[in-house]
Structure 1
Amino acid sequence: MADKHADKRGEQGLAATGPDRIRNVVLVGPSQSGKTSLVEALLAHTKAITRAGSTVDGTTVCDTEDAERRHGRSISLAVAPLAHRGVKVNLIDTPGYADFVGDLRAGLRAADCALFVVAANEEIDDGTRQVWRECAQVDMPRAVVVTKLDHPRAHVDAVVAQARAVLGGKVLPVYLIDSADAGAPSGLIGLITGETDDPRRGELIEAVIEESEDEGLMDRYLGGDEIDLQVLIGDLETAVARASFHPVIPVCGATGVGLRELLDLCVDGFPSPLERTSPEVFTPAGKSVGVLACDVAGPLVAEVVKTAGDPYVGRISLVRVFSGTLDPDTAVHVSGHFSSFFAADAGHEDHDEDERIGALGHPFGATQVPTGRVLAGDLGTVARLSRAETGDTLSAVDHPLVLKPWSMPDPLLPVAIEAATRSDEDKLSQALARLAAEDPSLRVEHNAETGQLVLWVMGESHADVVLERLAERHGVTVEQRELLVPLRERISGAGKGHGRHVKQSGGHGQYAICDIEVEPLPEGSGFEFVDKVVGGSVPRNYIPSVEKGVRAQMERGLRNGYPVVDLRVTLTDGKAHSVDSSDMAFQSAGALALREAAEAAGVSMLEPYDDVGVLIPDDLVGTVMSDLSARRARLLGNENVADGRTLIRAHVPQRELIRYAVDLRAATRGAGTFTRAFAHYEPMPEDQARQVSPRHH
């Protein structure tokens, strides 16, 4: 795509000279914390754009689609590069709302370090804490940025205190706010470099010295020696890069306070791609080849971290190059092997094919700045990779490799849809396949039992965005339907049935009579057919026909049209005609006999239960357990896990879990998560069974 700003942005340092001159920084934080505004302020500060909030080619630089403005929040990942002191900094802006965690995970994968953005007028939310824990598990360097210093209810000290309390003791401020008058921030004072007797200076220096590789430094400091300022700064930067110390920096995008200091931290404290360990690499056959160095001359390994459709150039793939160099108009091998690392039904079929690289670019919000190559350690865009999906690996055709994909939470909100018209139906399958290729947090299920098309999404906002993209990008309109749960039927007790199928309509007639006995079997036993016919009353060649008719009736159901399970049928007697009996006649007789036996024995409805694990803060255990009990759950127990959280185990009817993803988030203010997996079937309460609508075959 032609871009009139390309030359100007090239001068700003979009093309890195090497991995050591790159910083990939992801911004994490809740909605309304100020991430996007901070990115725009940093771009304006470095002259990458003319002013914060300005547009490039008519598009706000940190937006990626019109839906973001309609929803009032960021719903997808956006990348904006800038240059500071000769270093290219790729700022990766991620959504803060839980429904769009897929793009958040992609941003974490593409980055080497993280800025956790919290507003001075808000508390740190549980989603931020969870991502902080995940970053800690992989030793990702991170810092805390306190925004909205000019908000009327801003309370920086309270936010810093909370950050220390919930994120860890090595989270410390490195700057104080210098207020000119009436509390308005006019600048920052460095706690290490500035002239201040604030007690936090001593605490910061001790924390930095604790992380120093010079074991005698603490003794000299406590003994009263003056520690060289450059030694302290060097130790601080080393501790940040090792993820053992996490500075807090106050920033005001509106006034520019703290922007330079934040950029200095990105350049001096955060590691380059050379200093971070890349994901493990495998062959397409699943053999590990270890971890590759970030070497521009090494074997090509790049990962598609996001895909999007562009109305002018088609599919655009955002990639992170971990090794080697991407050049335009060259063939690459595209590998996707989700089933090798995750469940086989992850929603992405395994695939291997060769494709030719189209135009390369550097991402700049919703636009791409053309470039001649993308080096190891950098982010770039690739046009027209028609088969590449989010999470796929690009490698050399003669040396195909696969990166282990990043993990994603399961989408747990089911939404049943149906094409609005025949024309929509013709286009729906392909459109959903394209959306699923772009979005790993979307799973498409064609439920064979209920006959429904089900979208599994992260939440209601995610569902809205998927349906909007179907309509706007692909011209497909769908209607939502009530989700059906696959029920079962079961004979309640013992009974007998007499099946008589006798018809005469000229020529050969139809004649078959059979008598059966039925009884329920224990759960999971399946179906048993027992032959106790004596004296040849039912000829041997027709006994399989009776069983076939019984099985067909079991599949059609005996009460509401749902399959019958755990049943023993015993054929005891019957009659046949030498001319008019047939396979079809005895199938019909077997089905009739089963229906009569069911009337005598009674039929109960069974519903599926899931094994559910709910992870919540300790103070919400009572609330969540009460809610589960109201959902007819069988509570199995709970256990304490790390960080003040409790895991509750329960068996819960699937009918009660349809909206649980939404309800749990609301009840726990976003702090609760859950997992689910099919457990077994149990009898449905009769008052609810009577409300079940007949199933249409």
Structure 2
Amino acid sequence: MFGLVFFASLALKDPNNRKIAMSQAITSVHNIAVIGRDGTGKSKLVDAWLHLIAQTPESLIAELPEEESRGITIYNRFYSLAFDQGRINLIDTPGNSNFLPKVGAALSVASGAVLVIAGSGSAESSLRLFETMEAANRPKVIFVNMLDLPDTNWENSVHELELQFNLSPLVLFLPIYQDGQLVGLVDVLSGEPVGGGVLSEGLKEERDRYFQAAIEQLSELDDELMADYLEGRPLDPELINQVLTEGIRTKKLTPLLLGAASKGVGVKQLSLFIAQHFPTHSQNPIWVGMESGGQDAGLVERRPVASEAFSAMVFKTLHDRFSGKLNFALVVSGLLVKGQKVLNSSTGAKIDLNHFARMNGDHTEPIEEAGPGDIIVIEKESHLFANQTLCDPSEPILFEPIAYPVPRCTYHLELTDTSQDNRIIDSLHKVMEEDPSLRLHKNIETGEILLSGMGPLHLEVVREHLKSVYAVEIKLVDPYIAYHETITKSVKVHGRHKKQSGGHGQFGDVYLLLEPLPRGEGVLFESKIVGGVIPKQYIGSVEKGVREALIKGSLGGYLVSDIKVTLVDGSHHSVDSSDQAFVQAGILAIRQGLPDAAPILLEPIMEMEIDLPEADLGRVTKDINARRGRVTGYTYREFTTLIKAECPLAELSDYAVALKNMTQDKGLFSMHLKGHEAVTSHLSKKILAQAQR
């Protein structure tokens, strides 16, 4: 007898007895991130898992309005399940690529992960989630869900996993169907039915094939098991379980379980499998941090056990309308008791932690103490933020913060210059504390306030969240394109500012030479004044006037760049000349000279990296060309292809949506400004005509 029958006696704990002994919590805490695309039944699996504990007919899944209206998970949700053997904390994560940073944050504190795929869907759609999971390097199990649906073909899903992700899943269960209905499972290692149903002769043969495949895969990890298998000796069930556990811990095995969460099939087996074979938090690798925030700080190690000094990583901030500010933290090492003084090593501040709790869906359960692996919610600490470290003041450590990707979708935040603007900005700062993948910044050239996120859906959710939680409404529109102007021929211009209105007058007189520069050179000012025709103290004033005038060009009022301005001559008046007079003279000269210097329009060119499945390469390349862009290179990766391209920013306002549609939400991109290039005469006229409307 093999496999799960060895721990089928593990009993779920009485849901009314929520508190467990500290010694037990210390050694047996699993933090499991449940990951899956929208539509795979991921949250139904979490809900079914919760029903194993609560034994109630109602759904225990917490949702906010923006999630309920779309039928998807947008925010990480935390649920805590108590077992006789310890505790499993489940993290229900978003499935849309707009919210991948939240998945990464969940994995940063997880000790393991469950990837949920649909038995009737395409495993390839989980590409970005799989990549995120692989980058986190956590033990994982794949759960093929929704096997109760009529169009299910779970073996096709497994085959896709093998092809798309270069995996060799260790299949540990097979479905049992009777009259077309899923009634139970068969344990591949033991050959015993689980949950109901009888094995047909065909299913017995199928189980034998998968048993041989499983033993061969396990034998590759252990010499003793390999020898027993090759020599035909009886296989030791305990040894098989040990090899299975070690293979998961070292990430050399990817077990595959299956079932139907909506029917409760396979859920208990998944829960028991994790309790038996997955490493607990305290069995995970050593955490490494810095002694302090100084440049010369050395490395410090923390074993994730109770005997080490206390340390915790704050990984999430939440502003609750009723409870105020909440900070989620993973206790990495040591013990925390109510009232304990800890050090925020990110700021140097000391804190008395008097209020912390365990999160369960949409409510908190106050606790008196916490140990390694516990995910706690710290209340009433307004100066605590995500990505900060808490630790024992006598043994400081600073953990590396969670890295968030650069936002790839930007909109102009329209403000009205009223008191409402302050409420909007204050509310946005709170939302950004909750979601570090957002960015609020100002475009210096256009003066716009810009809000950037991971995609249009991400920013639309932010807009709805601001309205429902903070009672403020924002308007997001396409940002302005920061065109530039430049000149294409050299001209010499004269600027004289002369004004007499009683008393001292104003006099400044300059001659400037305007010359074009290569792209990317900006504005260069030079003085060739000799003989004191313009005193030295006024040279800087001329330059100030020149640069001020170049902020608005003669074509469309855009910034003028790639121009050299040389002060070659001029005159002054001993009484009437002043700094301001020469500023005005410089402005007049530029305004008079630009129209005569054959000005042209320049547009911003973005350097792009587009990461996508190879199957979508052709259509995405064609689309780049249609946007007046050009591909500069390809890099072939393990699962995807990276396109490097250059494209005008004006053609990319809808690119996040377009790439999603072209790649079925599997494509990602990033871009940054490469420089400005000349616009064709025909397009320039069109742009300038639109700007004048």
TM-score, with length taken from structure 2? 0.90
2:212 corresponds in structure 1 to 202
CA contact (8 A) 1:324 1:375 kept: yes
CA contact (8 A) 1:15 1:371 kept: no
| Match among 284, 293, 296 for residue 284 of structure 1 | 293
1:466 corresponds in structure 2 to 462
Identity across matched positions, percent:
29
State whether structure 2 residue 481 is matched by structure 1 residue 485. yes
Deviation at 1:468, TM superposition (A): 2.0
SS across alignment from 1:18:
helix
Amino acid of the structure 2 residue aligned with 1:430: D
CA contact (8 A) 1:427 1:476 kept: yes
In 1, the alpha carbon distance for the partners of 2:48 and 2:530 equals 90
State whether structure 2 residue 676 is matched by structure 1 residue 669. no
SS across alignment from 1:299:
coil
State whether structure 2 residue 234 is matched by structure 1 residue 236. no
| Cα offsets for 1:318-358 (capped at 9, x unmatched) | 2111112222333333355xxxxxxxxxxxxxx55333324
| Cα offsets for 1:530-575 (capped at 9, x unmatched) | 4445665545554443333212212343433333223222333334
Residue 577 to residue 243, structure 1, CA distance change in 2 (3 Å): closer
Deviates more, 1:458-467 or 1:231-240: 231-240
Deviation at 1:456, TM superposition (A): 0.9
Alignment of 1:534-553 (within 5 A): 537-553=533-549
SS across alignment from 1:635:
strand
Residue 545 to residue 406, structure 1, CA distance change in 2 (3 Å): closer
1:346 corresponds in structure 2 to none
State whether structure 2 residue 104 is matched by structure 1 residue 105. yes
| Match among 549, 557, 561 for residue 561 of structure 1 | 557
| Match among 188, 192, 196 for residue 191 of structure 1 | 188
SS across alignment from 2:123:
coil
Structure 1 unaligned spans of 5+? 1-6, 55-60, 337-350
Alignment of 1:288-307 (within 5 A): 288-307=298-317
Residue 423 to residue 90, structure 1, CA distance change in 2 (3 Å): same
Residue 32 to residue 553, structure 1, CA distance change in 2 (3 Å): same
CA contact (8 A) 1:516 1:570 kept: yes
SS across alignment from 1:166:
helix
Alignment of 1:253-652 (within 5 A): 253-282=261-290, 283-286=292-295, 287-336=297-346, 351-420=347-416, 422-533=418-529, 537-643=533-639, 645-652=640-647
Deviates more, 1:516-525 or 1:87-96: 516-525
2:47 corresponds in structure 1 to 40
CA contact (8 A) 1:164 1:172 kept: no
State whether structure 2 residue 75 is matched by structure 1 residue 76. yes
| Cα offsets for 1:375-420 (capped at 9, x unmatched) | 1111111112212222222223444422112222221100211235
Residue 64 to residue 531, structure 1, CA distance change in 2 (3 Å): same
In 1, the alpha carbon distance for the partners of 2:542 and 2:82 equals 79
Residue 23 to residue 528, structure 1, CA distance change in 2 (3 Å): closer
Amino acid of the structure 2 residue aligned with 1:224: G
SS across alignment from 1:291:
strand
In 1, the alpha carbon distance for the partners of 2:635 and 2:587 equals 50
In 2, the alpha carbon distance for the partners of 1:243 and 1:534 equals 75
CA contact (8 A) 2:225 2:240 kept: no
Deviation at 1:636, TM superposition (A): 1.5
SS across alignment from 2:186:
strand
SS across alignment from 2:465:
helix
The CA RMSD measured in Å over matched residues stands at 2.5
SS across alignment from 2:262:
coil
In 1, the alpha carbon distance for the partners of 2:120 and 2:100 equals 24
Deviation at 1:364, TM superposition (A): 0.5
In 2, the alpha carbon distance for the partners of 1:139 and 1:529 equals 54
Deviation at 1:28, TM superposition (A): 0.8
Amino acid of the structure 1 residue aligned with 2:157: V
CA contact (8 A) 2:496 2:585 kept: yes
1:341 corresponds in structure 2 to none
CA contact (8 A) 2:553 2:594 kept: no
SS across alignment from 2:576:
coil
| Match among 253, 259, 282 for residue 245 of structure 1 | 253
Residue 310 to residue 64, structure 1, CA distance change in 2 (3 Å): farther
Deviation at 1:494, TM superposition (A): 0.7
TM-score, with length taken from structure 1? 0.89
Amino acid of the structure 1 residue aligned with 2:631: L
Residue 694 to residue 398, structure 1, CA distance change in 2 (3 Å): farther
| Cα offsets for 1:47-105 (capped at 9, x unmatched) | x2513x43xxxxxx322423211222110001111133432111111010111112211
Deviation at 1:272, TM superposition (A): 0.6
Structure 2 unaligned spans of 5+? 1-12, 193-203
1:182 corresponds in structure 2 to 179
SS across alignment from 2:47:
helix
Deviation at 1:279, TM superposition (A): 4.0
Deviation at 1:15, TM superposition (A): 6.4
Alignment of 1:145-224 (within 5 A): 145-179=143-177, 181-194=178-191, 196-198=204-206, 199-212=209-222, 215-224=223-232
In 1, the alpha carbon distance for the partners of 2:415 and 2:589 equals 40
Amino acid of the structure 1 residue aligned with 2:651: E
1:135 corresponds in structure 2 to 133
In 1, the alpha carbon distance for the partners of 2:531 and 2:525 equals 19
In 1, the alpha carbon distance for the partners of 2:663 and 2:681 equals 32
In 2, the alpha carbon distance for the partners of 1:423 and 1:242 equals 57
In 2, the alpha carbon distance for the partners of 1:358 and 1:655 equals 53
Residue 10 to residue 290, structure 1, CA distance change in 2 (3 Å): farther
Residue 443 to residue 273, structure 1, CA distance change in 2 (3 Å): same
CA contact (8 A) 1:20 1:272 kept: yes
Amino acid of the structure 1 residue aligned with 2:81: L
CA contact (8 A) 2:555 2:688 kept: no
| Cα offsets for 1:429-453 (capped at 9, x unmatched) | 3222211111111111122222111
Deviation at 1:33, TM superposition (A): 0.9
SS across alignment from 1:95:
coil
Residue 489 to residue 264, structure 1, CA distance change in 2 (3 Å): same
1:345 corresponds in structure 2 to none
In 1, the alpha carbon distance for the partners of 2:596 and 2:445 equals 27
CA contact (8 A) 1:14 1:362 kept: no
SS across alignment from 1:240:
helix
| Cα offsets for 1:466-485 (capped at 9, x unmatched) | 11222232232222233023
Amino acid of the structure 1 residue aligned with 2:113: A
Alignment of 1:675-694 (within 5 A): 675-690=670-685, 691-692=687-688
Give the paired residue count. 663
Amino acid of the structure 1 residue aligned with 2:336: L
In 2, the alpha carbon distance for the partners of 1:380 and 1:536 equals 73
In 2, the alpha carbon distance for the partners of 1:209 and 1:103 equals 37
SS across alignment from 1:561:
coil
Residue 427 to residue 261, structure 1, CA distance change in 2 (3 Å): same
CA contact (8 A) 2:80 2:90 kept: yes
In 1, the alpha carbon distance for the partners of 2:261 and 2:467 equals 37
CA contact (8 A) 1:143 1:247 kept: yes
| Cα offsets for 1:620-656 (capped at 9, x unmatched) | 222111111222223222122223x222112222333
Deviation at 1:11, TM superposition (A): 0.9
CA contact (8 A) 1:139 1:242 kept: no
Residue 693 to residue 417, structure 1, CA distance change in 2 (3 Å): farther
